[in-house]
């Protein structure tokens, strides 16, 4: 941990490393589990990805929405603490501008340094206390959007011997 005067410092390089880890390891793990189901020693394209792909961005039946939410929650809670923290960094990067817009500073016109310091503390608080500030819900929501976007990139109207290869190619594209 890099600290100066008891303040955690996350440099651009550290942030980039964590985001790369998230994409190459955590999100890839999510996409693999979402895409394939194991039956015995064989792997098959999962029903959930097929349903999400079928409906795409359109409104999904409540049972599919519920299944997707339950799946994500199960995946999320099974992650190691380090993997969840990496996802929090990913979400902060995804929603940075939204958090910036929502951030309210107490002073009328704080200096740029003062504003940056307070905003940085707000983001650090989100990572250290994700239960108390909506970061977990934001993470699940971002993961849900991520899976929906991924599934809509695929044409799963016909499942054949090439479908698994196509899915694996798309996973590699998403996790670069």
Specify the pLDDT at position 108.
Answer: 62
Can you name the residues that pair with 107 across neighbouring β-strands? Answer: none
Helices (H) and strands (E) in the chain, counts: 9, 4
The answer to which of 54-58, 85-89, 141-145 has the lowest mean pLDDT is: 54-58
User: In the predicted model, is pLDDT for residue 97 greater than 80?
Assistant: no
pTM of the model as a whole? 0.85
Q: What is the mean pLDDT of the chain?
A: 85
User: In the predicted model, is pLDDT for residue 6 greater than 60?
Assistant: no
Q: Is 4 left (phi over 0), alpha (psi -120 to 50) or beta?
A: beta
Burial class (CB within 10 angstroms; exposed 0-12, middle 13-18, buried 19+) of 170: middle
CB burial string 134-158: b at 16+ within 10 A, e below: ebbebbbbbbbebbbebbbebebee
């Amino acid at each position: 941990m890099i600290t100066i005067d008891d303040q955690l410092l996350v440099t651009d390089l550290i942030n980039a490393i964590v985001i790369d880890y998230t994409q190459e390891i955590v999100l890839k793990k999510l996409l693999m589990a979402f895409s394939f189901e194991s039956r015995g020693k064989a792997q098959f394209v999962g029903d959930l990805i097929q349903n999400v792909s079928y409906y795409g961005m359109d409104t999904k039946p409540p049972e599919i929405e519920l299944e997707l939410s339950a799946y994500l929650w199960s995946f999320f809670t099974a992650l190691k603490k380090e993997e969840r923290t990496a996802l929090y960094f990913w979400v902060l990067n995804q929603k940075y501008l939204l958090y910036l817009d929502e951030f309210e500073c107490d002073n009328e016109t704080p200096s740029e340094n003062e504003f940056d310091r307070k905003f940085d503390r707000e983001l650090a608080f989100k990572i250290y206390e994700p239960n108390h500030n909506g970061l977990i819900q934001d993470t699940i929501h971002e993961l849900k959007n991520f899976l929906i976007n991924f599934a809509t990139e695929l044409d799963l109207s016909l499942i054949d011997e090439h479908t698994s290869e196509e899915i694996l190619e798309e996973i590699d594209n998403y996790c670069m």
